[in-house]
Amino acid sequence: MENRVNLNFIGNGNAAKSYGGKLEAWSFNNIQGEAWFLNFKNHVLSCVGKKYLPIYRMADGEYRFLMGRKYNFHSKQFLKEFLIVTAEKLKIKNPNKWKTSWGEEYTPKETFILRENLLNKIKEIANDGYLACYINDNGLNAFTEHNNYILPFFKKNHINFSSENYIPFHFVVHLLLNDSRHDFYVDKNILLISGTEKKTENQISNNLKGLGVKNVEFIRISKTSSMKDIIDLSSITNKIDLCLVAAGIGSANIISQLKPLNTVVLDIGGYINCLIDTSKSQHGGIFTFPNK
């Protein structure tokens, strides 16, 4: 992956500013970012309501769960970073007990099993859809410490990863922004799966219907153990056009269970906060709720 692709067009159209002046995705091919995204978007649109197309985002949380921490030599708090990573490598702390910023928490015994399960889910998604991986160079050197480990890790674990099924991490949410309002919102039936509550579901539903969405349905999952959840699709009343999943590193487990719906499944992660509160933003302000 020797090519670097400028992603400044992503989100608000000035993504580099939020990443210290540079945001470039690693790529197998020499291609312009806008062309790469358009090819991806056209494929996604061809599958809406017709074919199962899972798209799973992987960044620092997923990488740390699967590969452990790596040194970020560009960290402004390098000494702290060095001590934390070294402690984990020396097993001063138990690296198998896992708690995420999303709220998931797993025991050491569970973590060992769930890592294997997650790898199997990623293999399935890689064969059926896309892995939206955070592999980039940016001006902040934010979460770049796993860049050189990702391809060897996938190869070691026999995970299909190539120009055919890899897209940049930021492409997923960019699908849902202003230029795509008609394609992904107007007259669409949307299913959202997350650890929601009735109040937030009402907010999401009202906000999405304000964009022209026909119906919004919800399936609630646990807030602390989405990697173990088994979901029930029998409550769905409409033919779903688009599935949105926000389940932390457990999203792969949820996504893999949505194959019977025969449509596009997007892992949107923290972008759900923008659907709940339209004044919120994500990733340094580059992603916001679409303009009406």
Domain boundaries, the chain: 1-292
d(CA 96, CA 106): 9
**What are the φ and ψ backbone dihedral angles of 200, each rounded to 5 degrees?**
-70, -30
What are the pLDDT tens digits along the chain (292 aa)? 999 999 999 999 999 999 999 999 999 999 999 999 999 999 999 999 999 999 999 999 899 889 987 877 666 566 666 666 666 665 545 555 666 666 778 887 888 899 999 999 999 999 999 999 999 999 999 999 999 999 999 999 999 999 999 999 999 999 999 788 889 999 999 999 999 999 999 999 999 999 999 999 999 999 888 999 999 999 999 999 999 999 998 899 999 999 999 999 999 999 999 999 999 999 999 999 998 5
DSSP string, 144-198: -TTHHHHHHHHHHTT---STTTEEETTHHHHTTSGGGHHHHTTT-EEEEEES--H
d(CA 259, CA 264): 9
Q: Cβ contacts of residue 213 below 8 Å, gap of 6+?
A: 185, 186, 187, 188, 189, 190
Q: Cβ contacts of residue 130 below 8 Å, gap of 6+?
A: 40, 53, 54, 55, 56, 165, 166, 167
d(CA 203, CA 193): 14
Q: With contact defined as beta carbons under 8 Å apart, do 290 and 267 qualify?
A: no
What is the structure's pLDDT at 51? 97
What is the structure's pLDDT at 106? 80
What is the structure's pLDDT at 281? 95
Q: With contact defined as beta carbons under 8 Å apart, do 4 and 137 qualify?
A: yes
Structure tokens at 206: 């009202």
d(CA 161, CA 154): 7
What is the structure's pLDDT at 85? 62
Provide the sign of the torsion angle of the four alpha carbons 76, 78, 81, 83, taken in this order.
Answer: negative
pTM: 0.91
What is the structure's pLDDT at 107? 80
Residues counted in the chain: 292
What is the structure's pLDDT at 232? 95
Q: Cβ contacts of residue 175 below 8 Å, gap of 6+?
A: 41, 44, 184, 266
What is the structure's pLDDT at 188? 97
Q: What string of H, E and C letters represents the secondary structure of 29-77?
A: CCCCHHHHHHHHHHHHHHHCCCCCEEEEEECHHHHHHHHCCCCCCCCCC
Beta bridge partners of 30: none
User: Residue 175's closest CA among 39, 16, 283?
Assistant: 39
Structure tokens at 142: 């934010």
Beta bridge partners of 274: none
What is the structure's pLDDT at 112? 85
E strand or H helix at 203, and its extent? helix 198-209
What is the structure's pLDDT at 72? 72
